[in-house]
Every structure is written in structure tokens, then in C-alpha cells.
């Protein structure tokens, strides 16, 4: 029998956060006909054993390797038959009414292929979770710091939508996959997450395909989720920092062609040069905080190497 909602949580070595997430999910189902799926990406911290022991109602899928975000969610999708499918990070906390608000909005908006809630930091402050699609221009604006200097500008703040207060429902280009409700019928039309992305930008790819097919991607502020953020990626910070522009480059090459993809790499290279120029002197003056600056310098060096053709992919 088709259920109304499937909630898919992908986990990689986030046992404590996963427990907290699952507790918040089950406490806030509000009578929804839902199934909860955990796809464990070969964690080494006994995450899967914790789920089996403490959450017997969860459908646990053990992956023999770290499949990445897109592939793991697609595996969860293939094991469910619900009308709606929710991508939910293990480092989230579901707040009261959030799940029902998302489902009720989707029920009332047949044109919506994806619906996203408002994300909050642990202290309750806003976490900007909607963006315009990546492009050479948005990367260039970030590379020369214009997006930081003029965040309220609709031109310079366009990628992170920093000019907007996230206080009203509206259609957006794409929303982050930390919590994103998807309509199965729309997924059947455009296809699942693209597994060529290991991490990052797969939700932008999916939302682009949804919008191209005529579906809307909508942000709704009355559904609220706490997102702690970066808990898996912080284990390999430099590698994951490089993965972000790599995935954006893949998106641009896929949908806009090699010329604009090359322009994007150029913008990344410019950003790397600018940051190395700023943070190099900072490192010399940092004294006790040199380790923080060193990581930033390593990250920018890796980004510059990739952008100039010496890195992977």
C-alpha cells in the first residue's frame, strides 16, 4: 500500500546526531502516514547498530561503502513507494509541526515538485538555504568579495539570496538537500538525483530538471527545521571544500556547456588567488591561531590547483 510520506536520512559516522534526528522525527510525525528510512554509508561508529537497537520501526539500509549523498538517497527512494519523499540530513532536528506543514503545503500545491522549509542554526538564527543556480557570474562575485561587501544587493547577493529575509513563501531556483520534500510523480518524470555528484549540488541539479519540466520549487517559512551543518564534511574539510566547486562545475558543464564551465573554473582560480593574497599575510601575523589560517590556505591552494587543471576531475 502506498504511504503518504517516506523520510530518508543518509548517515555517515554521525551516530549521536542521527539518534537526535530520529527522536525528533518520531516526536513530530503528527499522525502522518510515514515510513522512516536510514541509509547508512558504511559508518564506523556503530550508527547502524544504534538504529537497529533503538529504532525498530526504521527501515535500515546498510551500504557496504560510502555511496555519497545522491546514490544513498536514490537507494532509499527505490525501497519506498510513498507519494512524497523527504530528503533529511542526519544533523537536523525536526521542530513541532514542520513535517505536517510541508506535507499539507504539497497537498495544496499540485504544481510544486519540491518544497523546502526554513532552516535555523542551533541558536535559532536564520540559515540561508535557498540559492540561485550556480554560474560563472555568481562565482566571480564571490571571488572578488562583492557578495560579502554588498550582501543586500540583488545583483551581488544573488547566489545565496542574501538580499532576502526568508520570511515569506516564494518560488526559488533551488533549496538545499538538508531537508527537501519531493513529489514522487515529479521524480518519476525527471528522474532521481544524479549520482555523478558525490556530495553537493545534486539538489540544484534536481531542482533545475524539475523547473525545466514545469514544476515549481517553493520555500515555506512556517515549516522550521534546525540544521547543525557540516558534521560529515568536517572529517575531511579540505577535500570537501574542493568538492563544492567541483560539483558546481559539473552542474554548469552539464547544463550550460564547456565554455561557461571553463569560465567558472577561471572564477574559482581568481578566488583562490585573492584569498591566498589575503590570508598569507594573516598567517604571518596570526601567532596562536595559525592552525586555522593554515587550513584555509591549504583549502585555497587545493582549489587553485584544481581550477588550473592540476586537481581531480
How do residues 33-46 score in pLDDT, each as one tens digit?
999 999 999 999 99
**Residues 204-246: pLDDT tens digits?**
999 999 999 999 999 999 999 999 976 555 566 778 778 899 9
Q: Which of 32, 38, 24, 27 is nearest to 94 (CA)?
A: 24
Does residue 302 surpass a pLDDT of 80? yes
CB 130 within 8 A of CB 176: yes
What pLDDT, on a 0 to 100 scale, did the predictor assign at position 288?
Answer: 52
Residue 115: beta bridge partners?
Answer: 181, 218
What pLDDT, on a 0 to 100 scale, did the predictor assign at position 226?
Answer: 98
Does residue 1 surpass a pLDDT of 50? no
Interior/surface letters 104-123, b for 16+ CB within 10 angstroms, e for the rest: bbbeeeeebbbbbbbbbeee
**Residues 109-143: pLDDT tens digits?**
999 999 999 999 999 999 999 999 999 999 999 88
- Of the two residues 273 and 51, the one the predictor is more confident about is 51
In the numeric block, which cell numbers belong to residue 188?
518519476
Return d(Cα 61, Cα 86) in angstroms, integer. 16
Does residue 284 surpass a pLDDT of 60? no
- Backbone Cα Rg of the chain: 20
Return d(Cα 136, Cα 255) in angstroms, integer. 13
Does residue 294 surpass a pLDDT of 80? no
pLDDT, averaged across the chain: 91
Q: Across residues 5-17, what is the average pLDDT?
A: 96
- Of the two residues 212 and 68, the one the predictor is more confident about is 212
pTM: 0.91
What class does CATH assign to 5-129+166-229? alpha beta
What pLDDT, on a 0 to 100 scale, did the predictor assign at position 297?
Answer: 79
Return d(Cα 24, Cα 29) in angstroms, integer. 9
Interior/surface letters 301-311, b for 16+ CB within 10 angstroms, e for the rest: ebbbebbeeee
Return d(Cα 32, Cα 222) in angstroms, integer. 18
Domain ranges in the chain are 5-129+166-229, 234-307
Amino acid at each position: 500500500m502506498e504511504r503518504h510520506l517516506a523520510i530518508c536520512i543518509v548517515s555517515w559516522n554521525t551516530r549521536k546526531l542521527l539518534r537526535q534526528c530520529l527522536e525528533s522525527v518520531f516526536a513530530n510525525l503528527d499522525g502522518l502516514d510515514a515510513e522512516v528510512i536510514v541509509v547508512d554509508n558504511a559508518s564506523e561508529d556503530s550508527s547502524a547498530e544504534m538504529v537497529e537497537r533503538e529504532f525498530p520501526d526504521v527501515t535500515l539500509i546498510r551500504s557496504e561503502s560510502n555511496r555519497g549523498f545522491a546514490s544513498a538517497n536514490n537507494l532509499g527512494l527505490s525501497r519506498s513507494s510513498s507519494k512524497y519523499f523527504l530528503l533529511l540530513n542526519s544533523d537536523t532536528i525536526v521542530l513541532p509541526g514542520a513535517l505536517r506543514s510541508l506535507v499539507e503545503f504539497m497537498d495544496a500545491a499540485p504544481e510544486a515538485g519540491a518544497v523546502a522549509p526554513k532552516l535555523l542554526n542551533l541558536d535559532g538564527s536564520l540559515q540561508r538555504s535557498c540559492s540561485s543556480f550556480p554560474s560563472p557570474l555568481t562565482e566571480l562575485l564571490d571571488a572578488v568579495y562583492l557578495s560579502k561587501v554588498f550582501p543586500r544587493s540583488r545583483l551581488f547577493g544573488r547566489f545565496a539570496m542574501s538580499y532576502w529575509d526568508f520570511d515569506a513563501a516564494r518560488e526559488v531556483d533551488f533549496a538545499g538537500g538538508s531537508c527537501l520534500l519531493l513529489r514522487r510523480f515529479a521524480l518519476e518524470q525527471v528522474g532521481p538525483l544524479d549520482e555523478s555528484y558525490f556530495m553537493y549540488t545534486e539538489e540544484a541539479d534536481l531542482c533545475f530538471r524539475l523547473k525545466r519540466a514545469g514544476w515549481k520549487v517553493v520555500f515555506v517559512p512556517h515549516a522550521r527545521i534546525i540544521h547543525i551543518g557540516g558534521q560529515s564534511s568536517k572529517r575531511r574539510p579540505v577535500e570537501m571544500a574542493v568538492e563544492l566547486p567541483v560539483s558546481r562545475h559539473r552542474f554548469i558543464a552539464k547544463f550550460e556547456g564547456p565554455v561557461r564551465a571553463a569560465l567558472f573554473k577561471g572564477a574559482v582560480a581568481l578566488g583562490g588567488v585573492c584569498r591566498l593574497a589575503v590570508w598569507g599575510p594573516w598567517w604571518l601575523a596570526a601567532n596562536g591561531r595559525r592552525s586555522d589560517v593554515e587550513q584555509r590556505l591549504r583549502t585555497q591552494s587545493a582549489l587553485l590547483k584544481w581550477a588550473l587543471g592540476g586537481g581531480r576531475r
